[in-house]
Structure 1
């Protein structure tokens, strides 16, 4: 009971020190007011592992999944490898770069890009609502900082009328949001944020766009997140088909084999000439490169086979373990009822 009282006291002190960065009478309050119905304000359900959360009954747990970027915070000291510590480009610049916007609801994927795609999380409607800030977000400093960071990222993304049009078209912002209201809302929000030090903003938003390929490498090799699961899946698991996996990670082998093929063909032509047939250094070099090429082919095929077997047994054991976990949870729930 003492711990509960201390926890409540800490929450009260936190709520006193934090304030909503939006006002009750902000120009977008009308948009938020139309969403006060809880069934509209939040998604239907939220999944956390094997647990099903109902946002309207467990708002704090749901908002943590909606806003916190724990996966990126865990590797924050390595994020400089994945992107520069600058603001993200505006949406019209993303289009000019040839990037397609992919909507994601995972805050850990927000502003992560690969090839010609960039993931962007739609701005949650509850961030326009003063009551949500005052009653829930301001009671948790980490949650407050994450929410401020997500709002700040939209200040980066939507700077011009063209950006707002793209955001509406992509489903990132409400359709009925007007440009003057957005400008006024952002102006008031930025007055309450230290844009120089970002002291009240989640540390993930010290960086803007992050490259997915480098995040995958960091997650596979960095000590804070090193595990067998992360070694296989990386930061974001894309297609689990073996063909897609080998296409992504072993294309370089085709280039190596192509170079070796050209070199060996050149050596064969050289050995056919009378000038080089009696050249001992050339003969020795040809012999060495031939043995090296054969060894490289055998080693490459062995590596592919080893990786394939490793992936096969990893997925087999993972499936078995997940089935056991589901069965155990079912038995536990049955015994309690």
Structure 2
């Protein structure tokens, strides 16, 4: 393999400006050959900022045959762009929500597997030290068989889901309103935008899929929910209470709280306090703090993982298309359950 690779970012916007593009430009092994955006003015601004050729049509970017592609478009465009990028020979990172439906998610997953290309999804939280440490403790047998988990995530997305263009991403660009307020484009509200991170995290930590659930949303049965609550069952028999909330813009840092109970021990995590506590069955308590239990998010982590895949690394377990496809199936069940007020099985062929 060459010592350098070519990269392109499709449908770049506010989030790419503060995450994907800086990570790509910071790696000397990466040549950023193209940025695309249907907004020609935005494409021009980003092209000038990052010193990169820019296009209004993403197909022109793929014509340059990049080795890696970041798909940063709204979910409605993911399937077409991801499959085209894979077919052009690239390893791909796509933002979440992964897809508008489980069927579309499976098509992308299956295409990547058939072509032998890495397809990663932007679940960057497994790289945060607090969760990487949690998984290592679980893998070391400190928790034993998982019996119950509670997880809550509060994120400053209330304004976005209510029609604001400011996602608080730290750049000067604004997000498109429809990206977060039109379910036909975005896939939904907090269940799709925020809880998708949790669902991927839960299944990555526990190592088991969610197979059934009962959910509610607020506003009730809304296409763009602000808050979501799910009671879920794992394949191994354990249960989970998972919730996501959209906060007012008083705190930029996402707030994760987790309690995980097993037959050998318990974990308590608070991402804002940078605290992880292990309680063993015999009563011994082990406290972890920053930096080993830091809850700070690295927005470039998924992009760095994509670069590593291009140089031969395996896809990180917490970012795979197979995991993401199941998360979409769970999300579909959440919205169906919230509207029917029924416990549902998760359909995932």
Q: TM-score range by the shorter chain?
A: under 0.3
Per the normalisation by structure 2, the TM-score is 0.22
TM-score by length of 1: 0.23
Indicate the structure with greater helix content: 1
Structure with bigger gyration radius = 1
Greater fraction strand? 2
